Amino acid sequence: MPMEQVEIEKLIKASLPDAQIEIIDLAGDNNHFSAHVISAAFEGKSRIQQHKMVYDALGDKMGGILHALALKTSIKKD
Amino acid sequence: MTDQTAQNIQTTIDDNPVVLFMKGSKKMPQCGFSSAVVNALSYLEVDFKDVDVLEDGELRDGIKTFSDWPTIPQLYIKGEFVGGCDIVKEMFESGELSAYLKDKAIPHKV
């Protein structure tokens, strides 16, 4: 059972309220997404820690019903 | 994760400077993300140990607990978790991966 884009945004926003999220459904199947997450909460964190913050927000969905999420994180918009 | 699995993982990353826990093998990757990391390492002519998590369900879940990282592939260099596909690709494209390999004294193409 794939996952809706809006659900991904909701989960991330619940953990990172200030996050700006740009999501693209890569395959049009609600299962392969790319996401760029911008949040001040990433300040001072390594890339691995930043990605873990997003994965933690997605809970057990990541690697489960959400098969593939190509992730990019930034502290502020480029 | 059983202690045996944790021990196997620890031994593998201790005994091999560069380890890629992946789906499939370096010759026959079974997933696009795994394949992307294999390509980056091959381009840089890095010698690495490939571990096919599809051959061992215990390992496939255990490595996620071990690294506290929910997806495969997972790259380890000198016993340290470097990242999954996204991070390794970003490092490769920015030149950070070459710098990291140099810093860890891992032979690679410059």
Round the average pLDDT of chain A to a whole number and report it: 90
- End-to-end alpha-carbon separation of chain A, Å? 34
Quick check: B8 and B56 in contact, CB under 8 A?
Answer: no
| Residue B108 maps to a domain | no
| Residue B9 maps to a domain | yes
Residue A78 scores a pLDDT above 70: no
pLDDT in tens, B17-53: 999 999 999 999 999 999 999 999 999 999 999 999 9
| Residue B35 maps to a domain | yes
| Residue B17 maps to a domain | yes
Eight-class DSSP state of B18: E
Q: Structurally, how many domains does chain B consist of?
A: 1
Asked if the Cβ–Cβ distance from B64 to A63 is below 8 Å, we say yes
Lowest-pLDDT range of A30-34, B14-18, B58-62: A30-34
Domain holding B97, by residue range, is 3-103
The pLDDT assigned to A16 comes to 97
pTM of the model as a whole: 0.91
pLDDT band at A67 (very low <50, low <70, confident <90, very high): confident
Chain A touched by B69 (CB under 8 Å): yes
pLDDT in tens, A25-57: 988 888 889 999 999 999 999 999 999 999 999
Residue A65 scores a pLDDT above 80: no
Quick check: A31 and A4 in contact, CB under 8 A?
Answer: no
Q: What ipTM was assigned to the predicted interfaces of this complex? A: 0.85
Q: Which of B71, B76, B80, B97 to mutate to test the interface with A (most CBs of A within 10 A)?
A: B71
A59: distance to nearest CA of chain B, Å?
A: 9
Phi-psi region of B6 (alpha: psi -120 to 50; beta: other; left: phi over 0): alpha
Closest to A39 (Cα-Cα) out of A14, A6, A75, A2: A75
Q: What is the CATH number of the domain that holds B22?
A: 3.40.30.10
Q: Which of A3, A26, A37, A51 to mutate to test the interface with B (most CBs of B within 10 A)?
A: A51
The pLDDT assigned to B95 comes to 96
Q: What are phi and psi of B6, to 5 degrees?
A: -60, -40
The pLDDT assigned to B105 comes to 97
| Residue B110 maps to a domain | no
Residue A1 scores a pLDDT above 70: no
